[in-house]
Structure 1
Amino acid sequence: MTFALRAMGAATSLGAVVQAAAAARAGIVRASELAQSTCLDEVTHERVALVGHTAGPLTEGFEGIGRLVQLAIATLVDLEASAHGTWWGQLEVFLCLPRSLGQGTNPPRDSTDVAQLLASRLQAEARFIPAPASLHLFQEERGGTIHALEKAMALLSERRCDQALVLGCDSLVSPERIEAQLDARRLKTPDHPVGYMPGEGAVALLLERRDPARERAAPPVAYLFMPTAAQEPRSLDAKAPPTGHALEEVLATALARAAATSVPEGSLYLDLNGEEFRAREWGQTLLRARDICRVGDWQPVIPAMSFGEVGTVSPLVSVCLAARAFARGYGRGRHALILVSGDDGHRAGLLLERGPLLQRPLTVIAGGVQ
């Protein structure tokens, strides 16, 4: 069963959805020094600034929950612009947040309490979004984002709502988050090149059931299949290198669900971010999957190269990039597969199918692109 992606919104280091996808396609990167976050260079024994992907003026001067509110409101404004005139029926909202929301606060606060405060701030400030029938909170990093999509699609299929708004927010560049990442030696530093650059962002997706009559008037951006999931017992949290078994399972299941195991063309969105264990797992997955599908021929895309590591929001950023690639005509084939690897061993595959609205192919003409 597939669901219609009606509209998208985002706030990233490269801007809103349309601008961010175009900038990433062009190879533009806006990484910068994090003035408030430094590390010790073991060669020079001097403090040097860390490098990350911030949302610039949008979050400058904000900390903690204030930073996430800024990202979320800008994302909902972007969503509302593309969803103009499409709000109808009963709406359910699914809010995806990091599990460490209370980390670094003084005094320390319960993560769930902070999440509830953030949700109430969003409901108070986003008056342009219809009041939801209910709001669901997920705080399980990448896995929570996938669970939110699963829950949203389940409620849509059961006709318990007409539309589902999935919103993810995360900021790994916040000073209160940086220290823990440094202690775990996960960040890219002068003496640790196999780490990631922290990023931040928010993404919102508006989902509906497939409705032929409604789609004739306003075709959706793309179609989403129900996510496939598996559990990898050997993971970062388990302090054991993953083997690729679970990732191979979700890859094969997702492609089989769309009858795409023998399809030679498609786009593959990977959440590789510079960490060695992720690259090793993907290499092992490719070796295991070569006998069951032709995914090695698909076009790989690594969003972290453009946005840094965005944690909870990572799967949704990939959805936006894949949908915009379809809309602009440079997405390969009819499908895009997003692979998700959580630190807790949760593995998932999210498949998108090109929407029914065929875009006019780009034509190079004198003086530019038409």
Structure 2
Amino acid sequence: MQRSPAVPGTVALSAMGAATSLGALVQAAAAARAGIVRAQELVASPCVDGETREFVPLIGHTAGPLTDGFEGLGRLVQLCVAALEDLRASAPGLQQERLEWFLCLPRDLGLGTSPPWSAEEIAQRLVARLQEETGLAPRPQSIHILLEERGGTVRAVAESTRMLRERHCDQALVLACDSLVSPERTEPLLSARRLKTPDHPVGFMPGEATVAVLLERHDTLSERGQRPHAHLFAPVTAQEPQCFNAKAPPMGRALVEVLTKALVQADAHALPEGSLYLDLNGEEFRAREWGQTLLRARDTCRIGGWASYIPALSFGETGTASPLLALCLAARAFARNYARGHHALLLVSGDDGHRAGLMLGRVHEQRERLHPDSGR
């Protein structure tokens, strides 16, 4: 086997797994590529039709049979166990003695629980259930819980890459989970007029997903004779003072900063083609910010020829899980050879003004044999 050379400044993306409205990762990526969508009525979450004044169900992207009948903690357990099983199918040999765990969850995790639990209590209960259900037994000191929405997921990736480079660990497992389809999550979003409804077409459709990725140093992966799915650069971050939470329309300055720095870091600022993964979801302020970003970035980088992908079109808004979902979709596009160019840039915009760019590089030797009857 010809080994893939390490790209300086990167870590290896060695395994991936997911639980989404379109299934596990391989099936989900193929379905999204084919334009398949499984949005359905959220019967337990009605909204009022502005014209008829009647209650109608919201439309959202649920994980179907996997989460039907489950709510609260049980729903999260179902999603996380499925994603971990999907990851372990391609990474059976997790080295738990040198493995760091990062669990990323939304900060409003305790909404609607009875008796009321804090987000921290639910996170701890989730860890215990995952250990029970999967048989995985991470060391207590190796478990890191982040309750910071998208920004927490990016921070987990950044901390993972730092710990790997400094040889504090050999592997890092980042698990991001979110579900916005239950009534306790949809009600405040409806009140804030953020969801797509018959009389409000510029909102988002709620979704749910858990995504797991295993990151490693290139040397430990090469010792096992394996090649990574992609080379991952350290995240680039910035803060946008004008953001949703500040009730000020963002002007794209922070996104241009992370876009430019991420391209320069990967030496991709002059490349005529590549792939952009955007977390646009139907909300007007996000679309306006991206338009401002494109205008401001014209003189600093060549992204006019880069292809753009919007995962929310296929999966709905997946919140905390969205950065890792985009990362895995980009890696699958490399593997199946339908990605444009040799780099994929994932842009992340949080309601709190957190902006981030994650750059993936293609592993040039990696090729999967295409088969006309294969769904992969």
- 2:253 aligns with 245
- 1:314 aligns with 322
- 2:297 aligns with 289
- 2:356 aligns with 348
Q: Report the number of matched residues.
A: 368
Give the letter for the 2:154 counterpart: I
Quote the RMSD (CA, aligned, Å).
Answer: 1.9
Inter-partner Cα distance in structure 1 for 2:17 and 2:57: 31
Question: Which one of the candidate residues 183, 200, 204 is aligned to 1:175?
Answer: 183
Question: Which one of the candidate residues 160, 168, 173 is aligned to 2:168?
Answer: 160
Task: Decide whether aligned partners of structure 1 residues 352 and 210 sit closer, same or farther in structure 2, where only a CA change above 3 A counts.
Answer: same
Question: Which one of the candidate residues 281, 284, 302 is aligned to 1:273?
Answer: 281
Equivalent residue runs for 1:296-335 within 5 Å: 296-335=304-343
Inter-partner Cα distance in structure 1 for 2:158 and 2:53: 48
Task: Decide whether aligned partners of structure 1 residues 330 and 129 sit closer, same or farther in structure 2, where only a CA change above 3 A counts.
Answer: farther
Inter-partner Cα distance in structure 1 for 2:238 and 2:259: 10
Inter-partner Cα distance in structure 2 for 1:368 and 1:160: 40
- 1:117 aligns with 125
- 1:148 aligns with 156
Inter-partner Cα distance in structure 2 for 1:84 and 1:290: 45
Contact 1:237-1:344 within 8 A present in 2 as well:
yes
Structure 1-normalised TM-score? 0.95
Cα deviation 1:31-68 (Å, max 9, x = unaligned): 00001110011100100000000000100011111111
Question: Which one of the candidate residues 212, 218, 227 is aligned to 2:226?
Answer: 218
Inter-partner Cα distance in structure 1 for 2:93 and 2:193: 47
Gaps of 5+ in 1: none
- 1:80 aligns with 88
Give the letter for the 2:366 counterpart: L
Inter-partner Cα distance in structure 2 for 1:148 and 1:176: 26
1:52 equivalent in alignment to 2:52: no
Task: Decide whether aligned partners of structure 1 residues 289 and 87 sit closer, same or farther in structure 2, where only a CA change above 3 A counts.
Answer: same
Inter-partner Cα distance in structure 2 for 1:359 and 1:255: 25
SS at match of 1:34: strand
- Measured after TM superposition, the shift of residue 357 of structure 1 is 3.1
- 2:3 aligns with none
Inter-partner Cα distance in structure 2 for 1:122 and 1:29: 29
Task: Decide whether aligned partners of structure 1 residues 220 and 368 sit closer, same or farther in structure 2, where only a CA change above 3 A counts.
Answer: closer
- 1:34 aligns with 42
**What is the percent sequence identity of the aligned residues?**
65
- Measured after TM superposition, the shift of residue 107 of structure 1 is 3.2
Structure 2-normalised TM-score? 0.94
Task: Decide whether aligned partners of structure 1 residues 126 and 132 sit closer, same or farther in structure 2, where only a CA change above 3 A counts.
Answer: farther
Give the letter for the 1:320 counterpart: C
